[in-house]
Amino acid sequence: MRRSGTLALTGVILMSCQGVLFATGPIFRLYARDITAWELPVAVAGWALASYGPILVATLFWRWADRFPKGWLLHLLLLPCLYALLLAGRRIMGSTVIDSDFDSTLGAPIMPALLFSVVVMAVYYSALAAKPVSRRQGRSKGG
């Protein structure tokens, strides 16, 4: 498995653990009493989009950037894509609860996804900055 795949798998595991902690916590119970059985899958889909979407998009962009002649464009498009995923997930989750702004919990349902999007951006762009350095070090050792 490539290093990017390992990082993505680690992110999925961490986000899944966070989701379990959230689903068993007091903030979820605050909203769960208002969510019907038909709305629960919609709320989970919104959470999954906002939480797992950044990992998937970053992994795909990283792999596709080497294959396209203008791969730098994918690196630039990562930021707006992550923002769009966060907004879409928030809208979908917000459509299932009465307090769609999440004001009573200070945005708790969407905050882990926001934090994780920031972590994904930091790791992605740090790896992108380190990529030329590691290539130069590989050339100097090999030649």
- Asked, for residue 21, whether it belongs to a domain, the answer is yes
Range of the domain at 10: 3-129
Q: How confident is the model over 9-21, as a mean pLDDT? A: 81
Place of tokens 């951006």: 121
Residue 135 covered by a domain:
no
Asked if residue 18 belongs to a domain, the reply is yes
| Residue 137 belongs to some domain of the structure | no
* Residue 125 burial (C-beta neighbours within 10 Å; 0-12, 13-18, 19+): middle
DSSP 75-119: HHHHHHHHHHHHHHHHHHHHTTSSSTT-GGGTTTTTHHHHHHHHH
Identify whether 110 is part of a domain: yes
pLDDT at position 104, please?
55
Is residue 122 in a domain?
A: yes
Query: What pLDDT shows up at residue 11?
Result: 81
Q: How many domains does the chain have?
A: 1
* Structural domain contains residue 39: yes
* pLDDT tens-digit map of 76-90: 999 999 999 999 998
Domain membership flag for residue 123: yes
- Model confidence at 4: pLDDT above 90: no
